[in-house]
């Protein structure tokens, strides 16, 4: 059922009252903890040493993992920057907070984390890419915000802040978002390519460039963590590293495969989180809002999509969610391909709402601007190589329903949707997904004019790319 305006107003009144009721708890709990959350931009979970990578240098991520808790099953709400970050800061999924397509923002009147923490006595600050641009970060209500996010700039703020208040500090780097820099310290011949990649020299070169940017993000992470340990009390500081979604590679960003929605999430908190631990608990980005509120002495708001995983951080519970729902609604005219998915610990069902659309992104349409030279090499290889042709075809053409056994097929390479033995499972999972979408008020909006598979030009690199990156005109399904 679509949530009416009156219902939303009542929901957020209740939200505020439940949060404010936690002020008494905060006052009685002694000194409140500081929070430092470091966000990278477009970093896939598997592309760091804490998650098994051996060809990328991330010593600071590894050091954080050694000192704290590494979540193996951390997911975002939507694999594009704006909707992912809005869900993080509101605790609401995209259809409910208003930021569905990329380059869109939360609805007016939707409460954000900084507003709630301020009522609990916190000073809130955001440096770098935390929300989606200057206007968006202002709308979320941070006390202090600036696009600058160098270690020197952050240090000046931490030293001169109002120390009478507990601190919630977000620092967001643009790395490893495209464009990727020149290679530094990486040999293209030695990088490991995922099975969904076409192995060309250009692919290896851009993979090395991407790794260079991952290492740049890791370096800044280490600097910010060093500042936190220098100026804040380690035993009273929760430090978190995570990323907004997977990297800008085919089947990553803009997709609901795990390479698009599963992200690194590492938390350290001296004296609270035991060092060197891992968790298989399923958590999601909207969960961070109620988690920080509870850690700050407040009461987890009712009626939101996020759920506090503070008991998991404290080692009191081994599990959190049983199911994850994710959505994607598009990114300007480059990517007009709405998708919904449901994921359990073992199974994932993906519903491509319009399989008649060609799946396209900045990768194959923006080309030179976003490092698409490697995509041209895939397109050319596909003319003579059947394996490359199959990968390119899968990139552009998707069936309506995809089903994956994640235990047997963690890389989601074998769609079981046509297997008659899976008919009941598909019916059950799709029913749960559709019921959730109805509860969310998901209108299945199509943003911008799609490219149809029937139009041969739609799958040619750079064809009809256009320049628009805004959400564009809405059309219902």
pLDDT at 273: 97
For 200-237, write each residue's pLDDT tens digit.
999 999 999 999 999 999 999 999 999 999 999 999 99
* Same domain as 353, residue 260: no
User: Which of 321, 342, 362 is the C-terminal boundary of a domain?
Assistant: 321
CATH number at residue 260: 3.40.720.10
* Same domain as 114, residue 236: yes
CA distances from 289 to 56, 101, 168, 364, 452 (A): 31, 21, 12, 35, 39
* Same domain as 332, residue 317: no
**Into how many domains does the chain fold?**
2
* Same domain as 358, residue 215: no
* Residue-by-residue DSSP string for 269-315: -TTTSPTTEEEEEEEEGGGHHHHHHHHTT-PPPSSSS----HHHHTT
Q: Is the pTM of this model over 0.85?
A: yes
CATH number at residue 458: 3.30.1120.10
pLDDT at 9: 42
Confidence at 370, pLDDT banded by 50, 70, 90: confident
For 84-104, write each residue's pLDDT tens digit.
999 999 999 999 999 999 999
For 395-443, write each residue's pLDDT tens digit.
999 999 999 999 999 999 999 999 999 999 999 999 999 999 999 999 9
* Same domain as 467, residue 380: yes
Q: Tell me the angle at which helices 81-90 and 288-295 cross, rounded to the nearest 10 degrees.
A: 30
Average pLDDT of the chain is 92
Q: Which domain holds residue 264?
A: 5-321
* Same domain as 332, residue 282: no
pLDDT at 30: 66
83 neighbors 101 (Cβ within 8 angstroms): yes
150 versus 14: the higher-pLDDT residue is 150
* Same domain as 287, residue 209: yes
* Same domain as 414, residue 371: yes
* Same domain as 257, residue 185: yes
* Same domain as 463, residue 339: yes
* Same domain as 419, residue 293: no
* Same domain as 369, residue 432: yes
Per-residue pLDDT, averaged over 23-41, amounts to: 75
- Cα–Cα distance measured from residue 472 to residue 360, given in angstroms and rounded to the nearest whole number: 16
140 versus 12: the higher-pLDDT residue is 140
User: Which of 289, 321, 353 is the C-terminal boundary of a domain?
Assistant: 321
pLDDT at 477 over 90: no
User: Which of 279, 301, 321 is the C-terminal boundary of a domain?
Assistant: 321
CA distances from 89 to 101, 235, 268, 300, 429 (A): 16, 25, 20, 14, 28
Q: Tell me the angle at which helices 201-231 and 59-67 cross, rounded to the nearest 10 degrees.
A: 50
């Amino acid at each position: 059922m679509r949530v009416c305006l009156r219902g939303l107003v009542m929901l957020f009144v209740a939200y505020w009252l439940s949060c404010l009721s936690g002020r008494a708890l905060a006052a009685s709990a002694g000194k409140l903890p500081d929070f430092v959350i470091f966000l990278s931009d477009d970093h896939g979970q598997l592309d760091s040493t804490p998650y098994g990578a051996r060809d990328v240098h991330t010593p600071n991520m590894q050091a954080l993992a050694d000192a704290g808790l590494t979540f193996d099953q951390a997911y975002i709400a939507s694999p594009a920057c704006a909707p992912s970050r809005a869900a993080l800061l509101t605790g609401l999924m995209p259809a409910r907070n208003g930021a569905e397509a990329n380059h869109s923002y939360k609805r007016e009147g939707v409460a954000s984390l900084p507003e709630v923490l301020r009522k609990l006595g916190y000073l809130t600050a955001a440096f770098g890419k935390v929300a989606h641009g200057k206007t968006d970060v202002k709308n979320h209500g941070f006390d202090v915000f600036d696009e600058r996010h160098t270690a020197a700039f952050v240090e000046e703020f931490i030293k001169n802040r109002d120390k009478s208040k507990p601190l919630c500090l977000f620092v967001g780097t643009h790395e490893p978002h495209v464009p990727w820099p020149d290679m530094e310290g990486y040999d293209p011949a030695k990088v490991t390519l995922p099975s969904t990649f076409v192995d060309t020299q250009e692919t290896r070169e851009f993979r090395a460039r991407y790794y260079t940017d991952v290492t740049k993000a890791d370096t800044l992470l280490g600097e910010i963590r060093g500042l936190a340990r220098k100026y804040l009390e380690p035993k009273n500081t929760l430090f978190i590293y995570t990323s907004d979604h997977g990297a800008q590679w085919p089947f990553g960003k803009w997709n609901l495969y795990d390479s698009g929605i599963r992200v690194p999430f590492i938390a350290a908190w001296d004296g609270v989180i035991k060092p060197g631990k891992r968790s298989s608990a399923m958590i999601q980005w909207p969960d961070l809002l109620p988690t920080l509120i509870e850690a700050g002495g407040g009461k987890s708001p009712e009626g939101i999509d996020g759920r506090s995983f503070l008991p998991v951080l404290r080692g009191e519970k081994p599990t959190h969610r049983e199911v994850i729902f994710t959505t994607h609604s598009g990114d300007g005219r480059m990517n007009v391909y709405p998708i919904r998915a449901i994921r359990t610990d073992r199974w994932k069902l993906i519903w491509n709402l319009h399989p008649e659309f060609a799946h396209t992104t900045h990768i194959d349409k923006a080309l030179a601007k976003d490092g698409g030279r490697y995509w041209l090499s895939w397109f050319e290889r596909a003319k003579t190589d059947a394996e490359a042709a199959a990968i390119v075809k899968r990139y552009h053409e998707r069936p309506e329903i995809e089903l994956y056994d994640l235990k047997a097929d963690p890389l989601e390479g074998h769609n079981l949707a046509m297997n008659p033995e899976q008919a009941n499972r598909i019916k059950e999972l799709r029913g749960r997904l559709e019921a959730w979408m109805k509860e969310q008020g998901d209108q299945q909006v199509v943003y911008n004019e799609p490219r149809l598979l029937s139009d041969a030009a739609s799958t040619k690199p750079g064809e009809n790319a256009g320049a628009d990156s805004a959400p564009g005109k809405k059309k219902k399904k």
